[in-house]
Structure 1
């Protein structure tokens, strides 16, 4: 069995010694090639090239951003390999994820241990036993995502965090909480909501200040605590949505507190919740921050979302 290990050398919780141990462990079970990412987007090319060369398993060591890039590489290769539109898990390499980032939402949603050494053991057992799971993915225009996407407030919060990290700040739950509150109180969108959610055959939902899309639960973690927006979201169903309407300072503060401290799904008349949706479009009256799997991807004014079942085979 041939495998590619894609390593993000800047991943938060990894070290050179740990990577060496991982490589030796994987080489005991597979014919392994190791590639290190050199820039943003590099993991996409590495995974696509591996799929097109007939590799059986792609393993990632990094955070959710590395996983997202690798998945996009695999799913891009899917169409190229088949000549047919749409992905099919059976014609792709399996994906295995060794948690190496600060949060590792995708790996934890799959039930993987947080510790990379324990995660490696699970992957080795899965390879030897042929144990895999087929999951659905989300697609936002031409980009795939594994667990979340967002337009508006949550994406602008991620933009703030990434700007802080560029200035040397460490990614911590506290940094995200400060960015969340700061973006809410400084942003224009809670007073003048710019977003509209359109579904085929349904009346549009207008005046939304943020739209958060889930492909699984939880939405994210604050340290060890899962944060649930739509607890019933699942890799085996369509997409779930939580959107916030126009918010007062008091109502917004209450919602933010629910998310930050109670780690529960927010409720109230200003909260729109949708479960198991196949397709929808979010349109903005002005450019809005956009994120996929916790990576800020710039600003958009229109994004078309689709749920794609049975898109990827994972070892877990």
Structure 2
């Protein structure tokens, strides 16, 4: 089996020595090539090129951003089997994820251990046993995502965190909380919610302040605690949506409290929840912050979301 290991050298939970151990372990099971990312978007190019060269497996060592790039590289590759019918999962290399970021939502949602050593052992066992799982993905316009997407407040929070990290701040749960509060009070037009959600054959949902999309559960983690907006979201189903109709202070404080103490038990007139949706479009009256898999991708005024079933094989 030919495999490519895509390494983000800035992965927060590994060192050069641990990466060497990982490489030796993988080489005991596969014919391995190792590539290091050099810039944003590089993992996408490396994964796409590997798929087009006939590699059987792409392994990532990094966080959720590295995984997202690699998945997009795989899903956009023109492989020798691309003309065959059937789910794309069996026309593409498989994916394996060694957790190396600060949160690793995708790997943890798959049930992978948080420790990279234990995660590597799971992957080696999966390779030797021929074990894999087929999962669905989400697609936002022309880009795929593995676990979450968002427009509005949650994406603006991520934008604030990324800007703080560029100034040298460390990514911590506290930094996210401060960014969330700052965006709520100073970065949002709470009196005129700008978002509308349209579904084929359904009445539009208007005056939404933020829209959060899940391809699986949980939505994210705060340390060891899973935060579940829609606990029934699954890699095996369509997309789930949680939206807040108006970002007034009392209602939003109540919703955040529900998340903190009773994750998954969101309710109230402010909350819109949709389960197992195949397709929908979010339109904004003015540009809104946009994120996929925890990466801020700029501002958008319209995004078309589609569930892509049986999209990818994952060793886990």
Give TM class, smaller chain. Answer: over 0.9
Name stretches of at least 5 consecutive residues in structure 1 with no aligned partner.
none
Deviation at 1:84, TM superposition (A): 7.4
- Do 2:4 and 2:55's aligned partners in 1 also have CA atoms closer than 8 Å? yes
Q: CA deviation at 1:181?
A: 1.5
| Alpha-carbon distance, 1:258 to partner | 2.9
Could you tell me which residue of structure 1 aligns to residue 143 of structure 2? 143
Deviation at 1:262, TM superposition (A): 4.5
Q: Higher mean Cα deviation, 113-122 or 261-270?
A: 261-270
Q: 1:167 to 1:112 in 2, by over 3 A?
A: same
1:32-88 CA-partner distances (Å, limit 9, x unpaired): 000000000000000000000010100000000000000000000157852579961
For 1:10, what is the secondary structure of its paired residue? coil
Distance 1:86 1:159, change over 3 A: farther
> Mind listing any 5+ residue stretches in structure 2 that lack a counterpart?
none
- Counterparts of 1:65-144 in structure 2, within 5 Å, are 65-78=65-78, 82-83=82-83, 88-144=88-144
Superposition deviation, residue 251 in structure 1: 1.4
Separation (CA, whole Å) in 1 of partners of 2:269 and 2:86: 38
CA–CA separation in structure 2 for the residues paired with 1:9 and 1:145? 22
**Contact residue 78 and residue 88 of structure 1 kept, 8 A:** no
Corresponding residue of 1:54:
54
Deviating above 4 A after TM superposition, structure 1's stretches of 4 or more consecutive aligned residues are 78-81, 83-87
- Distance in 2 separating the partners of 1:66 and 1:81: 25
Q: Does 2:300 correspond to 1:300?
A: yes
Q: How many residues align?
A: 316
- TM-score between both structures, scaled by the size of structure 1: 0.97
- For residues 107-256 of structure 1, the aligned pairs below 5 Å read 107-256=107-256
| 8 Å contact from structure 1 (residues 218, 230) kept in 2 | yes
Deviation of 1:252 after TM superposition, in Å, equals 1.4
The alpha-carbon distance between structure 1 residues 207 and 275, as it changes in their structure 2 partners (threshold 3 A), is same
Paired residues of 1:161 and 1:175 also in contact (CA < 8 A)? yes
Question: How far, CA to CA, are the matches of 2:6 and 2:74 in structure 1?
Answer: 13
- 1:165–1:146 Cα change, 3 Å: same
Q: Give the drift of 1:261.
A: 5.2
Aligned match of 1:271: 271
Instruction: Note the aligned Cα RMSD (angstroms).
Output: 1.5
Corresponding residue for residue 259 of structure 1: 259
Name the TM-score, length of structure 2 as normaliser: 0.97
